[in-house]
Chains A and B, each alone.
Chain A
């Protein structure tokens, strides 16, 4: 076992501190809510979340299921990884499918080259919350990701429409969380609120956890749009002039293929990824997420509708 805790001075390393805080939140929710659920996308943040959840309840199994909101526009590598990862953790998987929401006429598919299922996920997610009666959803959002998220509580109250009201958040003092809700309302819980992108990578390194191969440099046919490199895929219609070229890239975030951009990279190991992340001058979402580029307050607006 590596020396996580320096014995002489009773000092906790920053990763030890962050891990302890996150585990506290997981346990608090499991103790106070009847039907929690862990959102899992197969991305690095949800991998860390799963790891923390497993640690929080070891040697018992997770006292809640894991849900993937599946846009249908996935990286094939990630789905394969998801199933293996959850099987190892002994977690029960619930899939909420955006395709099914479209088929049932709950949402209408966007069309055109900039069509994305990103926004449609909200309806699928909220329908699943109702169907399964979930009263709390763990999400892997971090405050360093985006300026609206920087203002969000660890326990984020959502009304019966799943809406976030940034002007009316419950004060969150010390580590005393208020999880009281009425029927139909729920709480989004963000145990890794205080982690930064670099902390996530360092934790993955420390824990030696496996992550999907798309996080490491690989050859991929991509095209450029709005300064981002998008993968060539059946889910994205290209505009004139958007020519495909094979480049050596990796992903900093893994989401829907239609709106997640890659960055050029030579990093093939976790150490090399950490070197690149430490040196980058562009934020994770700024470099790679088309969904945040709509406006200055794109994230706040989506969150008000019930987004993650």
Chain B
């Protein structure tokens, strides 16, 4: 069975919790004791209806304040697929949490209230989904029951959203008219929208084609760990363990190791399989495997195995979009930080802040001199060592990095590489 990871963003007003609650409830992923606990708490808190947000808002502070603060992960399955939902808060002060949830998602689900149309928050959510290169965007035009399932109302919102999405890089955009409260077009196609020719939300989630989203062309294998058993039985064994993040690796393939530039041939690829570890015919993303080479080379963690005729960019200078995630400090030119990119760690200095982006209007403020919490901007970095990278839009794994404050050890930024710098 295939696994689909999707992210939702929104606040209570959008009906996001109701929508998730509905999906979980109708796929039997909410258990009786959970529902009873939520009902009990709802009554105690004086809510008039069962507040399904309590299912996901698990922290004391969240329950007290009635808001989602942090990403919650929820799980459900249908006979067709397994799903992991990264349920993220929608308000601008939680942009970093949205970025966190979106970073691993195959699909983003954005809710728009049909009565309000495309508001600032929906624009921001769509923008973040496109910035993080989530391949599929589904817009649920919600609360259709409140406009008597009026087709024109739906079409207007759709046209408005499409206009805005033109400015973004959204490859697959789908619209679904729904009523999360009453379940219209959530699991089954609704009789209230005979004019709607698409499928229900759940059906779309089950069927959307995600296999081709992965990069199967550019072979990339960041070496994570070197396995050397040092036992009599495996005296000469030397295996390079890691996760394939692009392309396909097969025994017999000629490969190149960076930064050394030495070439060798893959002797075998070993991977976990039912019942143990064995050799496999080929490895592709996101498999965790061990690659053995025919030659004894000096290869260590942080090195990159690729194909000689298809190498990533290599360099100490990169240009990137970063989302600043720290409230304790802000990003400014000349700042020094630790950088973690694939399995490589180095130090980096901010050499330039080109602009700060207004996530609501997409306006670029070139006069900006810093990035504060939840702010996104384009920066140039110079690293103490070369990185082996691809543009984020080509490969989310070799195109992403985090920045870490060396004093506090906090993760302070998430970065998406645009290309090599000057």
Contact = CB atoms under 8 A, between A and B. Distances in A.
A193 B224 contact: no
B84 A1 contact: no
Given A10-B216, A11-B2, A143-B75, A166 B33 contact: no
A16 B3 CA distance: 10
Q: Main SS of chain A's interface residues? A: loop
Contact of A24 (B73, B211, B224, B301): B224
Contacts of A193: 73
Interface string B239-256: 001110000100000000
A294 interface: no
A94 to B, nearest CB: 22
A4 B274 contact: yes
A250 B1 CA distance: 28
Interface residues of B, number: 84
B286 interface: yes
Q: Main SS of chain B's interface residues? A: mixed
B288 interface: yes
B63 A23 contact: no
Given A4-B274, A10-B248, A286-B33, A171 B414 contact: yes
Contacts of B301: 31
Nearest to B82: A14
A60 interface: yes
Given A2-B275, A170-B410, A175-B397, A7 B281 contact: yes
A68 B253 CA distance: 44
Contact of B60 (A27, A57, A286, A300): A300
Interface in A158-206: 166-167, 169-176, 178, 180-182, 193-194, 196, 198-199, 206
A84 interface: no
Interface stretch (A106-114, A145-153, A215-223): A145-153
Contacts of B77: 196, 198
Identify the interface centre among A7, A150, A172, A300: most chain B CB within 10 Å of its CB.
A150
A274 to B, nearest CB: 13
Interface residues of A, number: 70
B276 to A, nearest CB: 7
Nearest to B400: A174
Contacts of B234: 59-60
Given A10-B248, A10-B284, A169-B70, 15 more contacts: A7-B281, A20-B288, A58-B227, A59-B233, A144-B75, A151-B58, A151-B71, A171-B97, A173-B99, A175-B104, A176-B341, A176-B400, A196-B75, A207-B274, A280-B31
23 contacts: A4-B272, A4-B274, A11-B2, A12-B3, A12-B286, A19-B272, A21-B288, A28-B224, A31-B301, A52-B272, A58-B290, A59-B227, A60-B234, A144-B74, A144-B75, A149-B58, A151-B72, A171-B96, A171-B325, A171-B414, A174-B396, A206-B275, A296-B37
Interface of B: 1-3, 28, 31-34, 37, 41, 55-61, 63, 69-75, 77, 82, 84, 96-97, 99-100, 103-104, 211, 214, 216, 224-225, 227-231, 233-234, 237, 241-243, 248, 270-278, 280-282, 284, 286-288, 290, 301, 325, 338, 340-341, 343, 396-397, 400-402, 404, 409-411, 414
